[in-house]
């Protein structure tokens, strides 16, 4: 074993990359694409199996589960990178493999443990080829995988898949060297093919490692990646899909749940003004036609043997989709052309790989390109438009209303100065002469007041972002404090009228955002939209604040945060109610 400093690791980047490039040139394109898509499907199947709620024999806490997911996702990313490299650098000679390889993946402490368990369960046949893989989670802890290529012992498929795995490991090695060189850590490298160990300081716990690339348990489970997670019922329809994912696409139950979820995903973008019209102008076909064709492609990939990978004549795919959708051959051809891979492009965005007269693609690729195309176009046309923020506020009101809160209709506009000159200048450098409250809702003795913040999907990091959200909360808290003594502005509002006449009353100021802000001051009660949804459903309106004026905010089954409340002087409020009545 050899320990490499940051500088030594940086010097090896170019030689390792040269090895990756040269090895990619040795692979033929068609065999590689098919094998890599099947391998990616095997990883996806393993992820689905681990995520199946019916699996109760894995006694992992959320941190361990997230580390495993993160590691498997990193492997899938490396598979994508190797696929793109081979597509652009590999040979174009005819396919050598006579069949599509069937692959399964198992996870365990060591390859020997996995092999023993598989033999004991009779999951490993005498003609099955096994390829052991040892990788690392969060740069440290070893994790073993066993890749089984069914009925392939001693065949071309076994040798070929093994060489692809070695290439992926080399690509992984480059990624770790590159990341380490940029972040300033040393590496421990062994002579075997084991992924290098990153020598983090003791203070750098696995959780902190995951926080650096936003793969910690809270971010992975709570942060919304796609706009439909808050702009439609996609998020709620996702739950039944995930609960049946272990059944696979062969199950009518899971297939129906998936199709409902996917329709909601499209609706999440269609609800925005002019999105559908601008989509047609940009791509040369309607969003409805795009949806029909990509769903048709998914159906073609679905029944293809063990893996959902399509390898067949392009003309046959065209005819099948024309027949199933009722669209013209010209329209279907246009959509297929716009999704067909070209030299110097990435299969992430152009997943239909041409090979002679055939095309190759996977169900998972089509699912991913739907998300990337719809969200990417959304980001390009609504980058600096207020309509996103308005929709996000409406989603927050809808969430409160659906869980029994009495909600104020729209924003509460205040056409006078709320913050003192001193507070306003300290926060923003000028005096604000007017303000508003984004979302207000009440249940029991709590008036929930939400500052809604919809941020760009581009990941923003650093002290500046943390500081601005700390300022947002400081301003929001001061505004809520002002409102607690100016409740006449809520005259006639359902959220005030619904509050009971007896008992203690409180204002609970919160910030809700579509993104989580790393290393934010714990005193700032920021909730991701999924967390806000959970809070809306589970918050106990009979909660009593502690001696410090804090209440517990449930954000997930195993997580909560604390937030500061403001007391409402209910006798004064009661007098006010008598006056206005």
Integer Cα distance of 290 and 332 in angstroms = 8
Predicted pLDDT at 254: 79
* Residue 283 domain flag: no
Integer Cα distance of 297 and 294 in angstroms = 5
Integer Cα distance of 312 and 319 in angstroms = 12
Q: Looking at the predicted structure, is the pLDDT value of residue 122 above 90?
A: no
Q: Looking at the predicted structure, is the pLDDT value of residue 115 above 80?
A: yes
| Model-wide pTM > 0.75 | yes
* Residue 373 domain flag: no
8 Å CB contact between 512 and 400: no
* Residue 170 domain flag: yes
8 Å CB contact between 375 and 213: no
8 Å CB contact between 417 and 431: yes
199, 221, 243 - which closes a domain: 221
* Residue 352 domain flag: no
* Residue 536 domain flag: yes
8 Å CB contact between 313 and 358: yes
Please measure the distance between the N-terminal and C-terminal CA atoms of the chain and give it in whole angstroms. 81
168, 194, 221 - which closes a domain: 221
Report strand pairing: 435-437 vs 412-414: antiparallel
- The mean pLDDT of 454-482, rounded to a whole number, is 84
* Residue 444 domain flag: yes
Integer Cα distance of 488 and 570 in angstroms = 13
Q: Which domain holds residue 79?
A: 1-100+156-221
Phi first, then psi, for residue 294 (nearest 5°) are -70, -35
Of residues 458 and 416, the one with the higher pLDDT is 416
Low-confidence winner among 25-34, 304-313, 491-500, 522-531 (lowest mean pLDDT): 304-313
In this prediction, residue 579 has a pLDDT band, given cuts at 50, 70 and 90, of very low
Predicted pLDDT at 53: 43
Predicted pLDDT at 476: 97
Which phi-psi region, left, alpha or beta, contains residue 138 (left: φ > 0; alpha: ψ -120 to 50)?
Answer: left
* Residue 495 domain flag: yes
* Cα dist from 313 to 84, 234, 356, 380, whole Å: 22, 34, 9, 34
At 77 the three-state DSSP class reads helix
Integer Cα distance of 49 and 544 in angstroms = 41
Domains identified in the chain, total number:
2
Predicted pLDDT at 581: 44
Q: Looking at the predicted structure, is the pLDDT value of residue 251 above 80?
A: no
The CATH number of residue 527's host domain is 3.40.1350.10
Report strand pairing: 129-137 vs 103-108: unpaired
Q: Looking at the predicted structure, is the pLDDT value of residue 458 above 70?
A: no
* Residue 260 domain flag: no
Low-confidence winner among 4-13, 279-288, 340-349, 534-543 (lowest mean pLDDT): 4-13
8 Å CB contact between 89 and 24: yes
Q: What's the length of the chain?
A: 581
In this prediction, residue 70 has a pLDDT band, given cuts at 50, 70 and 90, of confident
Predicted pLDDT at 322: 97
Q: Looking at the predicted structure, is the pLDDT value of residue 55 above 50?
A: no
> Structure tokens of 99?
């069949």
Average pLDDT, the chain: 88
pLDDT per residue over 270-309, tens digit each? Answer: 999 899 999 999 999 999 999 999 999 999 998 666 899 9
Q: Looking at the predicted structure, is the pLDDT value of residue 372 above 90?
A: yes
187, 221, 255 - which closes a domain: 221
Report strand pairing: 197-199 vs 186-189: antiparallel
């Amino acid at each position: 074993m050899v320990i490499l400093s940051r500088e030594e690791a940086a010097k090896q980047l170019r030689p390792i990359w040269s090895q990756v490039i040269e090895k990619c040139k040795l692979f033929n394109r068609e065999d590689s694409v098919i094998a890599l898509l099947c391998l990616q499907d095997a990883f996806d199947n393993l992820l689905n199996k681990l995520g199946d709620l019916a699996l109760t024999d894995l006694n992992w806490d959320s941190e361990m589960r997230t580390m495993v997911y993160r590691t498997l996702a990193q492997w899938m990313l490396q598979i994508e990178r190797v696929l793109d490299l081979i597509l652009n650098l590999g040979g174009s000679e005819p396919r050598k493999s006579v069949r599509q390889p069937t692959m399964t993946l198992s996870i365990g402490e060591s390859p020997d443990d996995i092999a023993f368990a598989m033999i004991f369960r009779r999951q490993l046949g005498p003609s099955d080829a096994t390829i052991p893989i040892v990788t690392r989670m969060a740069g440290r802890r070893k994790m073993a995988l066993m890749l089984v290529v069914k009925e392939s012992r001693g065949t071309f498929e076994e040798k070929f898949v093994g060489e692809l795995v070695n290439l992926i490991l080399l690509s992984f090695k480059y990624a770790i060297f590159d990341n380490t060189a940029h972040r300033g850590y040393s590496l421990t490298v062994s002579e075997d093919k084991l992924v290098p160990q990153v020598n983090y300081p003791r203070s750098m716990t696995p959780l902190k490692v995951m926080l650096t690339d936003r793969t910690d348990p809270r971010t992975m489970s709570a942060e919304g990646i796609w706009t439909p997670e808050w702009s439609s019922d996609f998020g709620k329809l996702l739950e039944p899909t995930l609960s049946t994912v272990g059944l696979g696409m062969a199950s009518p139950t899971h297939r129906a749940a998936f199709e409902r979820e996917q329709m909601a995903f499209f609706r999440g973008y269609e609800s925005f003004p002019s999105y559908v019209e601008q989509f047609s102008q940009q791509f040369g076909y309607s969003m409805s036609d795009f949806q029909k064709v990509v769903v048709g492609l998914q159906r073609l990939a679905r029944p293809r043997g063990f893996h959902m990978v399509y390898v067949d004549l392009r003309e046959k795919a065209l005819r099948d989709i024309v027949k199933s959708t009722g669209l013209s051959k010209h329209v279907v051809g246009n959509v297929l052309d716009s999704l067909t891979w070209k030299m110097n492009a990435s299969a992430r965005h152009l997943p239909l790989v041409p090979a002679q007269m055939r095309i190759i693609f996977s169900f998972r690729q089509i699912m991913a390109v739907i998300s990337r195309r719809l969200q990417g176009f959304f980001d390009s046309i609504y980058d600096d438009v207020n309509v996103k923020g308005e929709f996000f506020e409406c989603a927050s009101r809808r969430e409160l209303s659906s869980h029994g809160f009495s909600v104020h209709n729209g924003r509460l506009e205040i056409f006078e100065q709320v913050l003192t000159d001193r507070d306003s200048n300290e926060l923003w450098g000028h005096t604000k002469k007017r303000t508003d409250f984004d979302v207000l809702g009440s249940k029991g003795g709590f008036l929930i007041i939400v500052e809604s913040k919809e941020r760009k999907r581009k990941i923003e990091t650093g002290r500046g972002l943390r500081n601005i959200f700390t300022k947002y909360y400081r301003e929001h808290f001061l505004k809520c404090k002002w409102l607690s003594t100016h409740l006449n502005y809520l005259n006639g509002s359902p959220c005030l009228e619904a509050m009971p006449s007896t008992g203690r009353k409180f204002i609970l100021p919160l910030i809700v955002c579509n993104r989580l802000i790393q290393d934010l001051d714990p005193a700032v009660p920021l909730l991701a939209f999924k967390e806000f949804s959970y809070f809306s459903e589970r918050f106990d309106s009979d909660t009593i604040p502690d001696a410090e004026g804090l209440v517990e905010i449930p954000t997930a089954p195993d997580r909560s945060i604390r937030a500061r409340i403001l007391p409402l002087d209910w006798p004064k409020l009661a007098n006010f109610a008598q006056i206005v009545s």
